[in-house]
Structure 1
Amino acid sequence: MKCFAEIYLKITLLCLYRYVASDIEKCHFGDGKCIAKSTNQFIRRYAKGDAKIGLPSFDNIEVDDITLINSPGPLWISYTLKNQVLKGFENATIISLSGLDREPELNKFEVKLKIPSLVMHGNYELRGRGIIVYTNSSGSTKSDMQNVRITITIKGFIEYRNKKRYLKVYEMAPIFELDRWILSADNLFKENTDLTVLLNRVINERWVEFWNEIESTILPVYTRSFVNLINKFVQAIPYDDMFLPD
């Protein structure tokens, strides 16, 4: 599972990659306003990525398969998203950024941003058995998260290698907020189109309840994956090389 992990990774990589792009202004340690401003410039310029500096594209994120619901038993249902692609991160705007100081282990690194719309589309598999309803179906699905706000708090410490300082992340706490979640899936009940329409409508009318159930399950998994991913980057570039000298 890496949907949110990919989002958080790319947020942090944008804040760090901008220091190694020669055409983007570097900032001094702890200058949150400068870092946020130049990171937004970086997003607009490099949304499609840049192979020369090893920067991946930010407008087309592949997402691991996600089992949203899995309730076994006499009455059971399983709903899995597969082959998902996430779009919209290229429109992100950094609102604030703090903590990238000379001694980052003494405080928290926090970044806040907003995204007008995050759209994820792909396929689904639905398996279910109830008292009067049975389904074994698959089809296409689309998920639109609107007016997304993300706050990520990161803790790290400095390691020394070859007389250079490297940042290592050991803890991360994301907060993910949105104004609306719209989910659509076709062919949920192969022989009953009306039931498919009804289920889609119920999910979208009660989206807050569904979202709350899903978020509490997947965020810890995404967070653990992201810690591993971001460490691969920050362990490769000396921390002091990312900033202007004092």
Structure 2
Amino acid sequence: MKVIQAVFFMLCSGAFAVKFPTDIPKCKKGDSECMIKSANIVMNIYAKGGERGIALLPLDPLDIPKINIEQGEESPVNVVLKFSNNTITGLKDFTFYKIEGFNDKPEGKYEIRLKGPRLELVGPYSIQGRILILPISGIGQSNITVVDPDFLVRFNGKTVTKNGKTYLKPENTKLSFTLTKMSLYLSNLYNGDKALGDNTNLFLNENWQEVWPEIKKSVFLAFGQIVDNILSNIFTRVPYDDLFDNSGKSP
């Protein structure tokens, strides 16, 4: 299995002075229960529009300009699959249920878990290759939906210092998730041959449990880079100590 490219140039906001919004409760360092509650408030209020005060980009819909994946010949799913100018929807309905890390110092291991009812990737695609025993080719619009996604995000915390302030720098960010169902629709397969296209979409949906294990590592890698972009945009703009309630502590 080989990932040739998983590239997306997120529409990151330019340099600006951040100011932590007053409607997001700050937590003490290491207080995981408080952080879960605060993270869910952020998701409920700001998933759609983002929040400049913590350098949070809009998450729902989330624009994904480009993702290119190639599966090697050793895989039963041997395809070159490209997505361009796609959107991900559904993150606004996700709930955080585990947050570990965020202790006294930024260095260390971090783990974040969240889940939601569904997630959809929609937009233009192109595909060429073979899936299981079926040759496949097409350029058109796609809709890929996963049901009951349960996300696990892990990263290592490093530090960077700017203007005398210490910032958290996520490194080696990895994402994985479980799901209960995946549905796919690829329009305009085989240059618009409706009969072949309909049969192929039916085949893919009836056999998603065989397809998913073959592509999930590539999907995890691509989505892990998206998550790394979002986290880095926040943590490299907001000083680490400014993320927390430091009242009652010595400066």
Written as runs of structure 1 = structure 2, the 5 A alignment for 1:174-213 is 174-190=175-191, 192-213=193-214
Equivalents in 2 of 1:40, 1:103: separation in Å?
Answer: 23
Equivalents in 2 of 1:24, 1:147: separation in Å?
Answer: 27
Question: Which sits farther off after the overlay, 111-120 or 216-225?
Answer: 216-225
TM-score normalised by L of structure 1: 0.78
Give deviations 1:154-192, integer Å, cap 9, x for gaps.
111234444432212222222221111100112213464
Give deviations 1:190-220, integer Å, cap 9, x for gaps.
4642221211111112212322222223433
Offset at 1:135? 7.2
2:15 match: none
Higher helix share: 1
1:38 match: 38
The count of residues paired between Structure 1 and Structure 2 equals 228
1:108 match: 109
| 1:87 alignment partner, one of 66, 89, 97 | 89
Equivalents in 2 of 1:49, 1:191: separation in Å?
Answer: 37
Q: Closer, same or farther in 2 for the Cα pair 1:134/1:209, shift >3 Å?
A: closer
| 2:98 alignment partner, one of 82, 96, 99 | 96
Offset at 1:67? 3.6
Equivalents in 1 of 2:233, 2:70: separation in Å?
Answer: 31
Equivalents in 2 of 1:104, 1:134: separation in Å?
Answer: 49
Equivalents in 2 of 1:103, 1:205: separation in Å?
Answer: 49
Equivalents in 1 of 2:193, 2:219: separation in Å?
Answer: 31
Question: Which sits farther off after the overlay, 56-65 or 90-99?
Answer: 56-65
Alpha carbon RMSD of aligned pairs, Å? 3.1
Contact 2:50 2:59 in 1 (8 A): no
Q: Closer, same or farther in 2 for the Cα pair 1:225/1:24, shift >3 Å?
A: closer
Q: Secondary structure at the match of 2:214?
A: helix
Q: Closer, same or farther in 2 for the Cα pair 1:98/1:210, shift >3 Å?
A: same
Q: Does 1:61 align with 2:62?
A: yes
Question: Which sits farther off after the overlay, 148-157 or 222-231?
Answer: 222-231
Q: Closer, same or farther in 2 for the Cα pair 1:194/1:68, shift >3 Å?
A: farther
Contact 1:68 1:214 in 2 (8 A): no
Q: Secondary structure at the match of 2:142?
A: strand
Offset at 1:56? 2.5
Q: What amino acid is the match of 1:87?
A: T
1:13 match: none
2:151 match: 150
Q: What amino acid is the match of 1:148?
A: P
Q: Secondary structure at the match of 1:65?
A: strand
Q: What amino acid is the match of 2:209?
A: V
Q: What amino acid is the match of 1:40?
A: N
Q: Secondary structure at the match of 1:64?
A: strand
Please, which runs of 5 or more residues in structure 1 have no aligned partner?
10-16
Written as runs of structure 1 = structure 2, the 5 A alignment for 1:1-80 is 1=6, 20-50=20-50, 53=53, 54-69=55-70, 78-80=80-82
Q: Closer, same or farther in 2 for the Cα pair 1:180/1:108, shift >3 Å?
A: same
Contact 2:121 2:143 in 1 (8 A): yes
1:237 match: 238
Q: What amino acid is the match of 1:46?
A: Y
Question: Which sits farther off after the overlay, 47-56 or 176-185?
Answer: 47-56
Equivalents in 1 of 2:160, 2:69: separation in Å?
Answer: 38
Contact 1:147 1:179 in 2 (8 A): yes
Q: Secondary structure at the match of 2:212?
A: helix
Please, which runs of 5 or more residues in structure 2 have no aligned partner?
1-5, 13-17
